C-alpha cells in the first residue's frame, strides 16, 4: 500500500513547511494515543488489537462461520453503524459483485440498519423457503433499529424452526456483560461473541463484529488480520516523515485549517462504495463535534462524474479529494475491435476496461486540480483480504491522530443521542413524558 502526496496534486495547494510545522504535534498525538493519556483513552483497545486479539475467540468465529455455511442458505446480519458497515464494506469490496446470486455461496443480507417496514417485508419474502441463520450485532445491546429487527427475526426463526432449533441458528455479538442483548443471549443460550469494552463501534470491524459475517461470506479472515498486523507495525512510528497514516492525518488537518470543510472520498470501483460508507462513520463520528471537523462525503466515479462532477469541477471550492485507487484490477477485460466501428470506439481496441478506468481517473484528477481541488492518492496494489485489513488499520490510526490534532475526543459520539431522545419521547417511551409534552407543543406551533 502506498500513499502519495504528489507535489502537484497536493503540495501546490499548501506549503511543504506546513508539514514540518505540524510534525511535533503529530508526535504528541502519537504519544497521547499510545500512552493512553488523551480524551477517550478508555476506548483505545483497537490500537494493539491486531497483535493481541483473542485467538481462541477468533477460532470460534471461524468454526461458527463454517457451521452457518453448512446449516443455512442465508445469513441475516442485524446491526447498524459500526455494527454493520465494516463487514458490509469488506463483503462488497472483496466478494463477487453479485455474491448472493452465485450458486453455492451462503447469501448474506443485512437488516436492522433502518426502520423501514418495506425493507423488512421484502427481505422476509426473499428468505422464504431458505434455511436461515442470524447474527445480531449490537455493542450496547439497546440500539432501537437492530433491537426492533431482531424482535421480528427472532419471531420468524422460532416460528420457522421452533425455539430449540432457532437457538442453534442465532449468533449474538455484543458487550461481554452489559445490555439487553447480552441478557437475552444468556437466557436463551445463544452462542455469543464479544465486542471488547475498550473498542468503540466504528473501530470494531476487526473484532467478531466484522469477522463473522466476512467469514460466512467466504472471506479469509486470517489474511484480514495479517494485513492489520502488518499495518500495526508499519504505522507504529511517531515520525511524520516516515508514517503514511500520520501524513494523511496531517494533510487533512492542514487543509481543514486552510478553510476546507469537506473531504470527498473518491473511488473508481463500485465494490468500494461501502468502504466509503464505513470511512464516513469513522471520521464523521470521531471528528464532527464541538462545531468542528471536516464533513466526510463520498462519490463513486466515474458514475458520479455524470451527476456530481460539475459541482466538483466548478462549484464552491469547499473540498479536497482523497482518491482510493486499486493499481491492479483482479479481472482484466480486453476491448475487442468492431469491424463497423459505428460507436467510434475502435481507438480502444486491445486496451483493457481497467486501462480506460485508470485514464478516466488520471483525467479527472488533472481536471480537478485545474479546478482548484487538491487530490490525495491512496493506492493499494491489489484489493484483497490482506490489503483490506491494512487499509482499515491505516484509517483507524489516521483518524485517531487527526481527531487528536483537531482537539476533540475522537472516541465518543454524544450528539447521536439527540434524535434518539426525541424519537423515544414522540413514541411515548416510559420516562420521556416531559420531553413528549415539550416536543408536541413545539410541533403544534409549526401547524
Ligand atoms: O452496536 P450498537 O451499540 O448497536 O451501536 C450501533 C451504532 O449506533 C450508535 O447510535 C452510534 O452512533 C454508533 O457509533 C454505533 O456504531
Each residue's pLDDT tens digit, 72-98: 999 999 999 999 999 999 999 999 999
Q: Is residue 193 scored above 90 in pLDDT?
A: yes
**Confidence at residue 11, expressed as pLDDT on a 0 to 100 scale:** 81
Which residue CA neighbors atom 10 of ligand 1 most closely? 416
Beta-sheet strand order (sheet of 132-138): 107-111, 74-78, 132-138, 170-174, 191-194
**Confidence at residue 180, expressed as pLDDT on a 0 to 100 scale:** 94
Q: Is residue 8 scored above 90 in pLDDT?
A: no
Say what the alpha-carbon torsion angle 357, 362, 368, 372 is, to the nearest 10 degrees: 160
Q: Which atom of ligand 1 is nearest to the CA of 82?
A: 16
**Confidence at residue 210, expressed as pLDDT on a 0 to 100 scale:** 98
Mutate to test the pocket of ligand 1, among 78, 111, 139 (most ligand atoms within 8 A of CB): 139
Segment 356-383 mean pLDDT:
95
Catalytic residue list contains 285: yes
Name which of 20, 38, 19 is nearest 29 in CA terms.
38
Each residue's pLDDT tens digit, 268-283: 999 999 999 999 999 9
| DSSP calls for 353-375 | HHHHHHHHHHHHHHHHHHTT--E
Each residue's pLDDT tens digit, 280-328: 999 999 999 999 999 999 999 999 999 999 999 999 999 999 999 999 9
Q: At what angle do helices 117-127 and 144-167 cross, to 10 degrees?
A: 20
Q: What 3 state SS string does 12-74 have?
A: CCCCHHHHHHHHHHHHHHHHHHHCCCCCCHHHCHHHHHHHHCCHHHHHHHHHHHHHHHHHCCE
Name which of 150, 154, 195, 200 is nearest 177 in CA terms.
195
**Confidence at residue 447, expressed as pLDDT on a 0 to 100 scale:** 65
With contact defined as beta carbons under 8 Å apart, do 396 and 411 qualify?
A: no
Q: Cα dist. 290→30, 136, 327, 401, 408 in Å? A: 22, 33, 38, 17, 7
**Confidence at residue 350, expressed as pLDDT on a 0 to 100 scale:** 98
Q: Is residue 3 scored above 80 in pLDDT?
A: no
CA of residue 417 to ligand 1 center, whole Å: 10
Any idea which of 11-25, 33-47, 149-163 has the lowest mean pLDDT? 11-25
pTM (2 d.p.): 0.97
Each residue's pLDDT tens digit, 197-212: 999 999 999 999 999 9
Kindly give the pairing relationship between strand 375-380 and strand 2-4: antiparallel
Q: Is residue 65 scored above 70 in pLDDT?
A: yes
Which residue CA neighbors atom 4 of ligand 1 most closely? 138
Segment 245-259 mean pLDDT:
96
Predicted ipTM of the assembly: 0.98
**Confidence at residue 4, expressed as pLDDT on a 0 to 100 scale:** 60
Q: Is residue 25 scored above 60 in pLDDT?
A: yes
Eight-state DSSP code of residue 411: T
Segment 227-235 mean pLDDT:
96
Report d(CA 209, CA 193) in Å as an integer. Answer: 8
Catalytic residue list contains 289: no
Confidence of residue 16 (pLDDT cuts 50, 70, 90): confident
Confidence of residue 5 (pLDDT cuts 50, 70, 90): low
**Confidence at residue 337, expressed as pLDDT on a 0 to 100 scale:** 97
With contact defined as beta carbons under 8 Å apart, do 319 and 297 qualify?
A: yes
Percent of the chain whose predicted confidence (pLDDT) is above 70: 98
CA of residue 202 to ligand 1 center, whole Å: 8
Q: Which atom of ligand 1 is nearest to the CA of 174?
A: 1
Q: Which atom of ligand 1 is nearest to the CA of 79?
A: 4
Q: Cα dist. 284→80, 160, 246 in Å? A: 15, 40, 18
Mutate to test the pocket of ligand 1, among 143, 414, 416, 422 (most ligand atoms within 8 A of CB): 143
Question: What is the CB < 6 Å shell around ligand 1?
Answer: 80-83, 138-140, 143, 146, 201-202, 285, 413, 416
Q: Is residue 2 scored above 80 in pLDDT?
A: no
Segment 416-433 mean pLDDT:
91
With contact defined as beta carbons under 8 Å apart, do 1 and 394 qualify?
A: yes
CA of residue 333 to ligand 1 center, whole Å: 41
Mutate to test the pocket of ligand 1, among 80, 86, 138, 277 (most ligand atoms within 8 A of CB): 80
Of 285, 321, 390, 396, the active-site residue reads: 285
Q: Is residue 15 scored above 80 in pLDDT?
A: yes
Q: Is residue 7 scored above 60 in pLDDT?
A: no
Q: Please provide the average confidence, as pLDDT, over all residues in the chain.
A: 95
Percent of the chain whose predicted confidence (pLDDT) is above 90: 94
Each residue's pLDDT tens digit, 340-361: 999 999 999 999 999 999 999 9
**Confidence at residue 426, expressed as pLDDT on a 0 to 100 scale:** 92
Amino acid at each position: 500500500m502506498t500513499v502519495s502526496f504528489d507535489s502537484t496534486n497536493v503540495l501546490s495547494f499548501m506549503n511543504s513547511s506546513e508539514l514540518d510545522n505540524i510534525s511535533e504535534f503529530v508526535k504528541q498525538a502519537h504519544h497521547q494515543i499510545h500512552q493512553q493519556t488523551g480524551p477517550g483513552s478508555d476506548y483505545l483497545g483497537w490500537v494493539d488489537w491486531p497483535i493481541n486479539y483473542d485467538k481462541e475467540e477468533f477460532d470460534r468465529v471461524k468454526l461458527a462461520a463454517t457451521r452457518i455455511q453448512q446449516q443455512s442458505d442465508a445469513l441475516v446480519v442485524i446491526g447498524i453503524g459500526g455494527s454493520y458497515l465494516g463487514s458490509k464494506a469488506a463483503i462488497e469490496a472483496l466478494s463477487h459483485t453479485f455474491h448472493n446470486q452465485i450458486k453455492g455461496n451462503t447469501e448474506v443480507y443485512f437488516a436492522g440498519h433502518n426502520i423501514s417496514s418495506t425493507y423488512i417485508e421484502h427481505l422476509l419474502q426473499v428468505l422464504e423457503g431458505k434455511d436461515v441463520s442470524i447474527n445480531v450485532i449490537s455493542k450496547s445491546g439497546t440500539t432501537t433499529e437492530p433491537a426492533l429487527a431482531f424482535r421480528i427475526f427472532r419471531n420468524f426463526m422460532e416460528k420457522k424452526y421452533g425455539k430449540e432449533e432457532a437457538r442453534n441458528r442465532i449468533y449474538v455479538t455484543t458487550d461481554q456483560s452489559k445490555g439487553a442483548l447480552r441478557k437475552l443471549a444468556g437466557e436463551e443460550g445463544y452462542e455469543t461473541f464479544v465486542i471488547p469494552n475498550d473498542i468503540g463501534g466504528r473501530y470494531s470491524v476487526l473484532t467478531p463484529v466484522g469477522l463473522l459475517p466476512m467469514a460466512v461470506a467466504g472471506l479469509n479472515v486470517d489474511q484480514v488480520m495479517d494485513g492489520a498486523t502488518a499495518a500495526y507495525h508499519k504505522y507504529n512510528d511517531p515520525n511524520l516523515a516516515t508514517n503514511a497514516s500520520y501524513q494523511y492525518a496531517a494533510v487533512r488537518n492542514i487543509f481543514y485549517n486552510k478553510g476546507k470543510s469537506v473531504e470527498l472520498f473518491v473511488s473508481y470501483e463500485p465494490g468500494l462504495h461501502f468502504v466509503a460508507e464505513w470511512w464516513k462513520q469513522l471520521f464523521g463520528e470521531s471528528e464532527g463535534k464541538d462545531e468542528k471537523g471536516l464533513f466526510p462525503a463520498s462519490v463513486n466515479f466515474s458514475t458520479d462524474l455524470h451527476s456530481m462532477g460539475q459541482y466538483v469541477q466548478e462549484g464552491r471550492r469547499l473540498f479536497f479529494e482523497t482518491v482510493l485507487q486499486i493499481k491492479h484490477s483482479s479481472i482484466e477485460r480486453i476491448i475487442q475491435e468492431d469491424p463497423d466501428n459505428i460507436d467510434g470506439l475502435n481507438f480502444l481496441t486491445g486496451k483493457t476496461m481497467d486501462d480506460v478506468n485508470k485514464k478516466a481517473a488520471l483525467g479527472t484528477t488533472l481536471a480537478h486540480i485545474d479546478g482548484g481541488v487538491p487530490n490525495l492518492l491512496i493506492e493499494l496494489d491489489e484489493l484483497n483480504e490482506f490489503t483490506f485489513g491494512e487499509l482499515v488499520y491505516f484509517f483507524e490510526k489516521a483518524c485517531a491522530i487527526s481527531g487528536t490534532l483537531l482537539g476533540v475526543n475522537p472516541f465518543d459520539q454524544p450528539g447521536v443521542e439527540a434524535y434518539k431522545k426525541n424519537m423515544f419521547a414522540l413514541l411515548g417511551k416510559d420516562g420521556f413524558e416531559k420531553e413528549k409534552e415539550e416536543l408536541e407543543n413545539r410541533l403544534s406551533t409549526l401547524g
